[in-house]
Amino acid sequence: MPKMGESISEATIINWLKNVGDVVEAEETILEVATDKVDSEVPSPVTGVITEIRYQKDAVVAVGEILALIEADANAVVEKKAEEKPVVKENPTVSVTNTSSPPAQPIQLKSNPDAFLSPLIVSIAQKENLSLEEVQSIPGTGAEGRIRKSDVFNYLKNRKYPLQSKPIINNSQPTLTYPKPVIAFNEEKDYIIEMDRMRKMIADHMVYSKQTSPHVTSYLEVDVTNLVNWRNAVKDKFQEKYNEKLTFTPVFIDAVARAIADFPLINVSVDEKKIIVHKDINIGMATALPTGNLIVSVVKNANEKDIPTIAKTVNHLAVSARENKLKPEDVKGSTFTISNVGTFGSLMGTPIINQPEVAILALGIIKKRPEVITTEKGDEIAIRSMMFLSLSFDHRVVDGFLGGSFLKRVGDYLEKFDPNTPI
């Protein structure tokens, strides 16, 4: 499995385009894989014949694992690993760890109470009726021994004896004293829609974020009259000069990037008890897909780009998203995310943090309304273009002072936008 991005450790096989015995050319696509961010094609590294396929459709495979063997021709150059991990060939889903024959009598495995159990692991454990001690005894192959999904699935494939213990309980949610509500279903009127793969991943990601980060949302109203007037005055000239449409999004990204430079501790990730401060300022944009799903495409190093360059990047990513042509590098590496809920007419929103980031900004609709402004003549009522900003932040590492200060700085950059800004 080729490397798909810094934050991606595994991928799911969608479909094999070639079979055992097929001749393939170097760089020819042989299978399609999916991550939690984007679908990708995997090309053959050499010209040759496929002699073995080790993982089938729907298998979840870790980055670096061997997917298939290709017998290269005499002129092809192929790198072969000296050692290969044993694999399961019947209905494989994950790589196999070393197993031994279980003893005749059940044995209490040594529990590791310090083992980190993510909401996903907890969910799998509940579904499979695994005890807390049993889950904590599973050797983790993730960073710092973290238990990954593949570790649990591999354990289940080779599990010969259950532990006599109380099933695992998700302590992040209170124990219900009432039964789960029954959903009324009228077969003559109602119908069922199965979640597609992306929607399932979005759902898991959102639940994980809410369970991981204590969300706090702050709001700020800003006067963007100068920005609106500038954009209306230059958008046609901008189109002629750069052959690109000028929306408000590039200006929003520019303001956010500048505010992050002023408050770098908003541009971080949390790893257990460590705070990782990112030097790159990569702004993610929540983008709607034709299917109705959302994906976060990324403007890399936004603080190093001017507004025309950001506009070109934003337009390119938007078109690629609509045409389902986003590449893995287009959706990885974001350090802060914005979501323009105003596009859909929303006044404001309470966005959910895009993990592993610690903050996300929602941008509401721009509306004209009468406001009291201070002039040289005193207070006056004027028609102004107003909008709300909503900042959700992770209260583990972002306190109210930092979150409020950052939000105010973004608002200041938007309110004080120079209407004489050249294009």
Question: pLDDT tens across 68-84, in order?
Answer: 888 886 454 444 333 44
* pLDDT reported for residue 32: 83
- With tokens 């904590």, the residue in question is 136
Peptide bond into 174 cis (omega under 30): no
Two tokens, residue 126 = 């509940």
Would you say 404 and 218 are in contact if contact means Cβ atoms under 8 Å apart? Answer: yes
278 is a catalytic site residue: no
Q: Does the domain made of 1-96 have the CATH classification 3.40.50.300?
A: no
Q: Whole-angstrom Cα distance, residue 143 to residue 315?
A: 36
Q: Which residues contact 304 (CB under 8 A, 6 or more apart)?
A: none
Overall average pLDDT of the 290-306 stretch: 91
- Give CA separation, 11 vs 127, 212, 412, in Å: 22, 22, 42
Task: Check whether 88 has a pLDDT greater than 60.
Answer: no
The topology under which CATH files domain 217-415 is Chloramphenicol Acetyltransferase (3.30.559)
Q: Quick check: 243 pLDDT over 90?
A: yes
* Residue in 151, 395, 412, 418 annotated catalytic: 395
Active-site pick, 73, 262, 271, 399: 399
**Nearest residue to 387 (alpha-carbon basis) of 408, 405, 414, 357:** 414
Q: Are 122 and 170 in contact (CB under 8 A)?
A: yes
1-96 and 217-415 share one fold: no
Helix (H, G, I), strand (E, B) or coil at 379: strand
Q: How many helices (H) and strands (E) does the chain have?
A: 8, 16
Is residue 399 annotated as part of the catalytic site, yes or no? yes
The number of beta carbons lying within 10 Å of the beta carbon of residue 395 is 14
Question: What is the distance of C-alpha 267 from the center of its chain?
Answer: 16
For residues 30 and 51, the answer to whether their CB atoms sit within 8 Å is: no
Q: In what order do the strands lie in the sheet with 10-16?
A: 39-43, 29-34, 10-16, 60-62
Higher pLDDT, 222 or 205: 222
| pLDDT greater than 60 at residue 85 | no
All structural domains of the chain with their residue ranges: 1-96, 108-177, 217-415
Cα(75)–Cα(164) distance, integer angstroms: 58
Tens of pLDDT, residue by residue over 369-417, are: 999 999 888 999 999 999 999 999 999 999 999 999 999 999 999 999 9
> Which of 48-62, 221-235, 330-344, 384-398 has the weakest average pLDDT?
48-62
* Residue 181 clears pLDDT 90, i.e. is over it: no
Task: Please give the pLDDT value at position 97.
Answer: 40
Mean pLDDT of 327-334: 92
pLDDT tens-place string over residues 16-71: 888 998 898 888 888 888 776 566 788 888 898 999 998 898 888 888 888 888 88
- pLDDT at site 237: 96
Residue 110 pLDDT > 60: no
